[in-house]
Amino acid sequence: MRFMLFALLGLLLSSTVFASDAAPRAGDEHSYAEPDKVRVVDLGLDLRIDFDQRMIKGSADLQLEWTDPEHRRLQLDTRELVIDKVMGKRRDSGWFRLQWSLSEKDPILGQMLSIKMPRQYETVRIRYRTSPEASGLLWLPAELTAGKRLPFMFSQSQAIHARSWVPLQDTPAVRYTYSAHIESDPKLMVLMSADNQPDTARDGDYVFRMTQPIPSYLMAIAAGDLVFKPISERAGVWAEPATVDAAVAEFSDTEQMIQAAESLYGPYRWGRYDLLILPPSFPYGGMENPRLSFITPTVITGDKSLVALIAHELAHSWSGNLVTNASWKDIWLNEGFTNYVEGRISEAVYGQDFADMEVVINRTALADELKEVPPEQQILILPRQEGKNPDEALSDVAYVKGHWFLSFLEQRFGREIFDPFLRSWFDQHAFESVSSEDFVDHLRTVLLPQKPNAVSEKELQAWLHQAGVPKVAPKVQSERLQAVDKARQRWLKGRTLAKDLDTSGWVTQQWLHLLDGMPNELDGEQMVELDQAFNFTGTANGEIAMRWYPLALRSGYFEARPAIAEFLQTIGRRKLIMPIYQELAKSKDGLQFARDVFAQARAGYHPITIASIEALFAEAKGG
């Protein structure tokens, strides 16, 4: 009886707390689609990849499910697509040409493709072609690939870039199955976020099928000089021949990670789990495209110290891919949950200390970010984000604060209660798109009644609706990182030389922590001493570079500039290069240097990266 009364009280509180928020937060403000009236339930693609024109062209068949019997219009999302023809078909009829129009261009949303029809057609076929400047596609000439033998093309559909290569309802609120027939140069292997077979012949004619319903941002395509090598029966690596062996060795624990996740959150439901190693121009660390995670080569270090990225992308197979945020204002449901699951996988495979080091480093990054982020963007359950680019929602608030909140719940309830609760969330909402309100309802109904006094309403509201990190947030410490703190202090106080610090056996996380804790600036002698002792300038480790080079710029260590230029011209991962560009943009001289480097590097950057850098230059005070 007490359980039932508490559950009822929880539901009443939920409706009270969110009554004022529910209406303004409803829907997806980053899509023109009207899924409450008509939904795409299956997509059929018949496309040709044209490297000479940097274009994908062909047709998209959209199978529709109408929920409003009076509705006669289909609104789709597009960006820079050329629409050649639109036709409709019912089961008992042939194809009929339909009237269509494109709205004025919106700098964030693109253009609405509005299709009028005299009756509710079950299938709409759109013949179209992409722009060479499509924001979701990157076309690389052979010289910018690892093997320098054949060109490379890959997509990045998150957050709202799928609309730049397919006309569709580009919202995570809509899930659909898809099939694809893709033609290409027969020298190139084509892959998609679908049923890629390891023994597929490279012949220029490929067929794919994704039988589980996915949102548009998880649709992906790539073409290049790609070969496959297995890790286990259900996992392997696709990469250029020059990269594949190093990747297989680095990510050899992938099967162990899958098994660890399954032991916690239930079976892996996507069939295969393969990794595609992309060129360094990939704008992110990884992208969780189902069955085929896209991975940056910048995490291949030779010592497996950055493989938490693989744990993260795999974790999305439950949080994000299986249960998806219905709009980008609720991205913490994807990324905060995934960061938490990633930590549990890392702990199971590599031990508690490895997982703790990752947590400390991430929380240090969050503390730095919160100094710059306005309070209204520091909350987990964000208001509607009209006029804001959803790419910018990918912040440490969603990732790290979201993870921290779940760790808080775990601490208060214990794993024996919290683990089954989290699995129930994935099981009950599998292949659904959900909102923060859905999770809070699940929390109040399933978890809170099990220990009614474990979490107060005030604490819950602080996590979900208030800026910053609540004072009740649990702390994590790492003995290995505490040893780094002591070493850094000895050096800063002049008690030891950098070369005499005991760094034998240090892994990447310890080096990152060393640099994260340095003063904002060092003097010239200190920079020279550190560099001579540890060879930071010119490092092949991008995580170290993204910390060392801004410190070098702030400290006036001009000796690093040639290496900075080479790094920015080689790497396109936004996380690694944006801190350097941001530091350069703070001075007139630095801004000019940044512009010169960008001019050389631009051809190898993804459109998403280019847009971020150009926006930075436009706002720079140094210019």
Active site residues: 313, 399
| 284 assigned ligand-binding residue | yes
Q: What is the dihedral of CA 141, 144, 148, 152, to 10 degrees?
A: -50
| 147 assigned ligand-binding residue | no
| 181 assigned ligand-binding residue | no
**Secondary structure of residue 565 in the 3-state scheme:** helix
Give Cα separations from 47 to 55, 163, 199, 283, 607 (angstroms). Answer: 10, 15, 22, 25, 22
| 283 assigned ligand-binding residue | yes
What stretches of 240-358 adopt beta strand conformation (E)? Answer: 273-277, 286-287, 292-295, 323-325
Question: Cβ–Cβ contacts within 10 Å for residue 612, how many?
Answer: 21
Phi-psi region of 589 (alpha: psi -120 to 50; beta: other; left: phi over 0): alpha
| 574 assigned ligand-binding residue | yes
409 vs 450: CA distance, rounded Å: 12
| 385 assigned ligand-binding residue | no
Q: Of the candidates 546, 556, 560, 570, which has an alpha carbon nearest to the alpha carbon of residue 524? A: 556
Q: How far apart are the first and last CA of the chain?
A: 67
| 384 assigned ligand-binding residue | no
> Does residue 150 contact residue 187 with C-beta atoms inside 8 Å?
yes
Q: Which residues contact 120 (CB under 8 A, 6 or more apart)?
A: 38, 64, 66, 69, 71, 72
User: Which H or E run includes 356?
Assistant: helix 352-370
Q: What is the dihedral of CA 71, 57, 238, 274, to 10 degrees?
A: 10
Token duo for residue 360: 């400390």
| 416 assigned ligand-binding residue | no
| 286 assigned ligand-binding residue | yes
What single-letter amino acid sits at 428?
Q
| 316 assigned ligand-binding residue | yes
Q: What phi and psi, each to the nearest 5 degrees, are found at residue 276?
A: -110, 115
Q: Which residues contact 160 (CB under 8 A, 6 or more apart)?
A: 30, 31, 77, 108, 109, 110, 170, 217, 328, 390
Q: Of the candidates 368, 332, 608, 36, which has an alpha carbon nearest to the alpha carbon of residue 324? A: 332
Question: Cβ–Cβ contacts within 10 Å for residue 412, how many?
Answer: 18
| 2 assigned ligand-binding residue | no
Q: Of the candidates 575, 28, 13, which has an alpha carbon nearest to the alpha carbon of residue 330? A: 28
| 442 assigned ligand-binding residue | no
What stretches of 360-507 adopt beta strand conformation (E)? Answer: 432-434
Q: Of the candidates 244, 215, 210, 216, which has an alpha carbon nearest to the alpha carbon of residue 230? A: 244
Q: Name the packing angle between helices 332-350 and 254-265 (round to 10°).
A: 110
Q: Of the candidates 281, 277, 295, 300, which has an alpha carbon nearest to the alpha carbon of residue 569? A: 281
| 287 assigned ligand-binding residue | yes
- Binding positions are 156-158, 283-288, 312, 316, 335, 573-575
Detail the residues annotated as belonging to a binding site for a peptide: 156-158, 283-288, 573-575
> Which positions make up the binding site for Zn(2+)?
312, 316, 335
